[in-house]
Structure 1
Amino acid sequence: MARRNSSLGFLGRFGRSEDLRSLDAALRAVDVHPALCPDGAKLTIVNLMKDQWPHGEPPPEAYPPVAELFGYCMVGPDLFGEANGPDAVAAAERRLEMALDRPESFDAQLVLLALHARLISPKVVDRFGLSAEEG
């Protein structure tokens, strides 16, 4: 199966591709407005997801976990916790800690994207000692 390209739409005439709509919906579900995340970052996220499913499109159930981690990174533990509860914060923090131990993992790529795109909460940077410096 050929990999489909993502589309942002054009002048309201052509709609956004299904993958971007799914990511937007997943971000909304964790109380992160999709407009807070630039389209370039969202395109990168869906392309990273497609790399995880090289023989097809990511399934619908793949989007919520991505939005949970990326949303946590964007808004930080306090706002994320207010909207999603302490269990969701703990789960996101566990994933982030594991990502730091596995720098080639998908979750690590999401955290690195948030860091390099300057979309990451300063509280997350401080809590986990993150840095964009090359090692």
Structure 2
Amino acid sequence: MTRRNSSLGFLGRFGRSEDLRLLDAALRDFDLHPALVPDGAKLAIVNMMKDAWPDREPPVEAYAPVASLFAYCLVGPDLFAQSNGPALAAEAEARVDAALEAGEGMDADLILLALHSRLVSPKVLEKFGLTIEQE
């Protein structure tokens, strides 16, 4: 079994790990400043990605679709479309619809993470009828 790079960059002593830097850059590409996403959420995202590619590190090109959907969930349809264009907003909306229908997969997990971390935009909650069940 191979050992994976730590997401903390060896206890944070040598700066951020490569996977967190790639995620931060991808979030910026979709006009979401990475400082608006708590490190715990980012660590959860990179761990989900590592689970999706269990035999190797996630490819660099895998970060953009993840960041796109997560940014959409956080900023909402209007701001996302304003910053990224209506085509990318429509694509994100289609992915949310598909994830909600399937109920599983990486997109569904990203939406759940946004919901349970209470980062999701109220407009996304309203548009898709999402709720967080209280126990």
Q: TM-score range by the shorter chain?
A: over 0.9
Which residue in 2 is equivalent to 1:89? 89
Which residue in 2 is equivalent to 1:33? 33
How many residues were matched structurally?
Answer: 132
Which residue in 1 is equivalent to 2:99? 99
Displaced runs of 4 or more, over 4 A: none
Q: CA deviation at 1:14?
A: 1.5
For the aligned residues, what is the CA RMSD? 1.3
Normalized against structure 2, the TM-score is what? 0.93
- Structure 1 unaligned blocks of 5 or more: none
Q: For the residues of structure 1 that align with 2:20 and 2:43, how far apart are their CA atoms? A: 7
Q: For the residues of structure 2 that align with 1:101 and 1:18, how far apart are their CA atoms? A: 33
Deviations along 1:25-80, one digit per CA (max 9) or x if unpaired, are 00000000000000000000000000000001100000000000000000001111
Which residue in 2 is equivalent to 1:119? 119
Q: CA deviation at 1:4?
A: 2.5
Which residue in 2 is equivalent to 1:6? 7
Matched, 1:73 2:73: yes
Which residue in 2 is equivalent to 1:20? 20
Q: For the residues of structure 1 that align with 2:79 and 2:86, how far apart are their CA atoms? A: 11
